[in-house]
Amino acid sequence: MNEIDPQLKKDFSEAQELTGEKKYHESIEKYELILKKYPNLLTAINNIGLNYEYLGLLDKSIHYYQLCCDKAQKEKVFLNNLGNVYYKQKDYLKAITIFDQSYNINNKQEGIIEKLGYSLMEAKLNKKAELFLREVLKVFPNNAYLNSLMGYNLLSLNCHKEGLNFIKKGTGFIEFNNDSVNIV
């Protein structure tokens, strides 16, 4: 059994601490030193991407996340990181492609499902969004955000009555009736 190099453990811990202290440039430098000795250490590559993301340098972040995805194509953590950056950039078509891959690996990731549904709507793929949201609402019927998304998506498809029912389920409505107030 291979033991982890104690120096690697020390350097990696220091790099993580620097990230925690918001010393992102220093953390990147530390991870780059680690990669000189361990060039295929995907967690170091990913963490460089994470630090660039924290710095707001999303294009550099994408580069490192993409490296991870290229080397470990079925790793949802790397896919989710890459998809999240595209989502932040409002590049919904790319986000859809990446989130869809992650969803196909694990279809129980509620946060990714929410972002995928929203991205489909923002990309004006409303019919696809409807089919997707109907499918995932079978698994997460009480997710208020997904119900709201479905409602707004249906409204955009001119399915007003059904859309309002989903919005009610997602956000609730206040109904005033003479002297009483009901939350529907």
Q: Measured in whole angstroms, how far is the alpha carbon of residue 52 from the centre of its chain? A: 17
Q: Is the dihedral of CA 148, 150, 153, 155 positive or negative?
A: negative
Alpha helices, H only, the chain: 6-20, 24-37, 42-54, 58-71, 76-88, 92-105, 110-122, 126-139, 144-156, 160-171
Residues with Cβ within 8 Å of residue 164, at least 6 apart in sequence: 151, 155
Q: Residue 109's closest CA among 70, 136, 138?
A: 136
| pLDDT tens per residue, range 4-53 | 889 999 999 999 999 999 999 999 999 999 999 999 999 999 999 999 99
Rounded distance, CA 89 to CA 102, Å? 19
What pLDDT does residue 179 have?
61
pTM of the shown model: 0.89
Q: 73-77, 96-100, 112-116, 170-174: which range is least confident on average?
A: 170-174
| pLDDT tens per residue, range 92-113 | 999 999 999 999 999 999 999 9
Question: What kind and span of H or E run contains 182?
Answer: strand 180-183
What pLDDT does residue 176 have?
59
Query: Rounded to 5 degrees, what angle do the CA atoms 132, 134, 136 make?
Result: 70
Confidence tier at 181 by pLDDT (50, 70, 90): very low
Residue with tokens 């990731």: 109
* CB burial readout 13-37, b (16+ within 10 A) else e: ebbeebbeeeebebbbebbeebeee
Does the structure show a pLDDT above 70 at 165? yes
Confidence tier at 3 by pLDDT (50, 70, 90): confident
What pLDDT does residue 178 have?
62
Across the chain, mean pLDDT equals 93
Q: 84-98, 133-147, 164-178: which range is least confident on average?
A: 164-178
